Chains A and B, each alone.
Chain A
Amino acid sequence: MIEAYFIHLLILIGIYIILAISLQLTLGFTGLLNLGHIAFFAIGAYTAALLTLNGTPFIIALLLAGVFAMLSGFLLSLLTKKLKGDYLALATIAFTFVVYAIALNWTKLTRGPLGLPGIPKPSFFGISFSSNFSFLILTLIIVLITYLIIKKITISPFGKVLEAIRDDELATKVLGKNTFKMKGYALAISAFFAGLAGSLYAHYITFIDPSSFTLLQLIPILIIVIVGGLASLRGTIIATIVLILLPEVLRFIGIPSTILGPMRQIIYALILLLILIYKPKGFYGKVELE
Chain B
Amino acid sequence: MGRWSWNKMLRIQNLKKHFGGVRAVDGCSFEVKKGEITALIGPNGSGKTTIFNLISGILKADFGEVFLNKQKITNKKIYHISNLGVSRLFQQARLFNNLTVRENLLLASNQEDTKFWKNLFFKNKIKKYKIDDLKRISKLVGIDGFQNKLARNLSYGQKRLVGIARAILNYPKVLMLDEPVAGVNPLLRKRIAKILLQLKKQGETIFLIEHDMNFTLGIADRVIVVDEGKIIAEGTPKQIKHNPKVLEAYLGE
Interface of A with B (CB < 8 Å)?
A: 149, 152-153, 156-161, 163-164, 166-168, 170-179, 182, 185, 231, 286-287
Contact = CB atoms under 8 A, between A and B. Distances in A.
Nearest to B108: A175
Interface residues of B, number: 32
A172 B107 contact: yes
Contacts of B124: 156-157
Given A161-B114, A172-B107, A177-B111, A156 B96 contact: no
A47 B217 CA distance: 67
Interface stretch (B62-70, B77-85, B218-226, B229-237): B77-85
Contacts of B119: 152-153, 156-159
Nearest to A178: B79
Contacts of B99: 160, 163-164, 167
Nearest to B121: A152
A231 B150 CA distance: 15
16 contacts: A160-B103, A161-B107, A161-B114, A168-B94, A170-B78, A171-B94, A173-B77, A173-B82, A174-B56, A174-B82, A175-B79, A175-B166, A176-B111, A231-B98, A286-B98, A287-B98
Given A153-B120, A157-B126, A163-B98, 6 more contacts: A149-B120, A158-B114, A164-B99, A172-B96, A175-B166, A176-B110
Contacts of B95: 167-168, 171
Nearest to A159: B119
Contacts of A157: 106-107, 113-114, 119, 124, 126
Interface of B: 56, 58, 77-79, 82-83, 88, 90, 94-99, 103, 106-108, 110-111, 113-116, 118-120, 124, 126, 166, 170
A156 B117 CA distance: 11
A289 to B, nearest CB: 13
A176 to B, nearest CB: 4
A166 B151 CA distance: 14
Contacts of A159: 119
Contacts of B115: 158
Contacts of A170: 58, 78, 94
B116 A185 contact: yes
A251 B90 CA distance: 57
A179 B57 CA distance: 14
Nearest 10 CB-CB pairings of A with B: A176-B82, A156-B119, A158-B119, A167-B96, A173-B78, A171-B94, A157-B113, A176-B83, A164-B96, A161-B114
A287 B96 CA distance: 12
A31 to B, nearest CB: 10
A186 to B, nearest CB: 9
A168 B97 CA distance: 8
Contacts of A231: 98
A163 B82 contact: no
A179 B115 CA distance: 12
A149 B117 CA distance: 12
B162 to A, nearest CB: 12
A175 B82 contact: yes
